[in-house]
Amino acid sequence: MTRSWWFVAWIRLRKALRRYTVREQSRFVWDWLKEPLLIFGSVYLCAAAVAQPFYVPSGSMQPTLGIGDLLIATKFSYGFNRYSLPFAFGPTPQQHFFASSPVPGDVVVFRKPGNESLTLVKRVVAVAGDRVQMKSGRLWINGTELPLSPAGVGKVEDGPGEIAPGSYFSADRYIETLPNGRRHPIYKKTWSGEYDETPEYIVPAGHLFVMGDNRDDSADSRVPAERNGVSFLPVANVMGRARVVIVSVDFVNAKGVWQWPLRIRSERTLTSVQ
């Protein structure tokens, strides 16, 4: 049986250490470890303070984000807290440092309320104090129906766990305009879905109302937590703002990892998130 590379490296390191004093051994070990530690520390600091990649496994944000998109979210956009760290878990922190609040239209990456080990991405449509309601599939904010302009037909992909994973279906595409003038695309397949008629929600202080752009396939703030939805999103759960898709891979239709390079969607690579 052949020896693994780490075992051989450990034997060589032990032999080398025998030739040195304790002090020299410490210096030798430090010289051996400092470069990988420096690299790891730099990457971790960058991911905590500047930007971090996130992978999109579902289709709730189509057409803005597709299944298999690898996006970059900037951490400095809204300030920092414990959730800014790449591997931090636990109860929601109460505040951000150097904080600025997300505004309607921003696409945000956040820890799911009630299950903070899960990272999601949705679009902010309303902030604290706003009144939000769905009527016949149309979004109303503060008593005003948002303008919706037809923008052709798009292809919606079913993701893992759905009826036909990897299959594409046609859906009407619209451009929705938020009260602050921000515009974004949405998909709409029906106007009589379960959450196309809702009561009026009033966003509480310190919270946001977020929705998926794929309106008929998104467990967002319209959906209560007990039904696996987001409900109102605490601002403290927000980790960063989605900025750019660096690469997109149609992994659902790939037969294995070896096919991923053949499934890269070049038209989505290096596209900004609006």
List the catalytic residues.
Answer: 60, 122
Q: Are 181 and 94 in contact, with CB atoms under 8 Å apart?
A: no
Q: Are 147 and 162 in contact, with CB atoms under 8 Å apart?
A: no
Query: Which H or E element spans position 48?
Result: helix 22-49
Task: Give the integer Cα–Cα distance in Å for 31 and 35.
Answer: 8
The residue written with tokens 């991923």 in the block is 260
Q: Are 158 and 146 in contact, with CB atoms under 8 Å apart?
A: no
Peptide bond into 91 cis (omega under 30): no
Whose CA is closest to 112, among 218, 250, 243, 188?
Answer: 218
Sheet of 131-135, strand order:
144-145, 138-141, 131-135, 201-202
Other Cβ atoms less than 10 A from the Cβ of 207: the count is 20
Position 155: which residue type?
K
Enter the tokens of residue 151. 């923008």
Phi, psi of 257 (to 5 degrees): -60, -35
Q: 185 by DSSP, 3-state: which?
A: strand
